[in-house]
């Protein structure tokens, strides 16, 4: 992506180091009134766009990124990442802090994460790969209204797991794939309380001390929980 088109930046003084990581920018900016970008009180990167994608190489002090329509990509982000797009995918290469990502229409991919993750997609899959120490407390909440969800955690990651897979009347078969010893059960009757009849496959269980809460929910999508 190239932020030179349709990007306005509110900048006071020298170029912040966090903004210098934005692809397509060196020491100057093009102001077309389409977006605002600034630094927060703690040095975090804040970008709000009325339309179009956002591409940030590095956000060493955290980032809050919002666009009304377009994909969002972050290379490396520390401290925290709050990301929201009304129409597009979300890609984070590496996060050493917390991630809260929402898209109204697209996939969410967190390449590697060392912190808690909350990811919500209204129409796409979610892929998250947790790495690092298993002793660090970090809850994970992944929700998709229509897509596959894949979560990978360290092999000795202690967690209390709640997975709910809902499916409607369709020729496709959906499943929960896991080797964590979870109790997997499928409902017998159709639930009509949501308008469209649906059944559920649920997986529950505690691994190790159950320190971290892992909640996964999807509709008409497969769920895969990997331990490595």
Q: Which pTM value belongs to this model?
A: 0.83
pLDDT at 104: 95
Kindly report, residue by residue over 76-131, the tens digit of the pLDDT.
999 999 999 999 999 999 999 999 999 998 999 999 999 999 999 999 999 999 99
Give the chain as a DSSP string: --TTTT------SSPPHHHHTBTT-SS-----SSEEEEE-TTS-EEEEESSS-EEEEEETT-EEEEESSS-EEEEEE-SEEEEEESSS-EEEEEESSEEEEEESSS-EEEEEESS-EEEEESSS-EEEEE-S-TTS---EEEEESSS-EEEEE-TT--EEEEEEEEEES-S----EEE-S--EEEE-SS-B-TTSS-EEEEEEEEEETT--EEEEEEEESS-EEEEE-
Percent of the chain clearing pLDDT 70 (strictly above) = 82
pLDDT at 41: 66
Cβ atoms of 212 and 142 closer than 8 Å? no
Question: Per-residue confidence at 135, pLDDT binned at 50, 70, 90?
Answer: confident
Question: Per-residue confidence at 35, pLDDT binned at 50, 70, 90?
Answer: low
């Amino acid at each position: 992506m190239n932020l030179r088109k349709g990007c306005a930046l509110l900048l006071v003084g020298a170029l912040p180091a966090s903004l210098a990581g934005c692809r397509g920018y060196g020491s100057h900016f093009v102001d077309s009134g389409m977006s605002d970008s600034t630094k927060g009180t703690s040095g975090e990167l804040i970008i709000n766009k009325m339309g179009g994608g956002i591409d940030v190489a590095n956000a060493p002090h955290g980032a809050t990124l919002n666009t009304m329509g377009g994909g969002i990509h972050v290379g490396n982000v520390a401290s925290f990442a709050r990301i929201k797009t009304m129409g597009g995918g979300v890609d984070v290469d590496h996060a050493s802090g917390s991630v809260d990502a929402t898209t109204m229409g697209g996939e969410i991919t967190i390449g590697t994460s060392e912190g808690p993750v909350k990811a919500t997609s209204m129409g796409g899959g979610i892929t998250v790969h947790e790495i690092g120490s298993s002793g660090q407390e970090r809850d994970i909440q992944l929700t998709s209204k229509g897509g596959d969800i894949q979560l990978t955690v360290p092999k000795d990651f202690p967690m209390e797991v709640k997975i709910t897979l809902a499916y409607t009347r369709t020729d496709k078969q959906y499943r929960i794939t896991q080797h964590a010893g979870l109790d997997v059960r499928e409902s017998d009757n159709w639930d009509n309380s949501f308008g469209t009849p649906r059944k559920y496959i649920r997986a529950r269980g505690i691994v190790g001390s159950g320190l971290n809460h892992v909640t996964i929910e999807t509709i008409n999508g497969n769920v895969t929980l990997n331990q490595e």
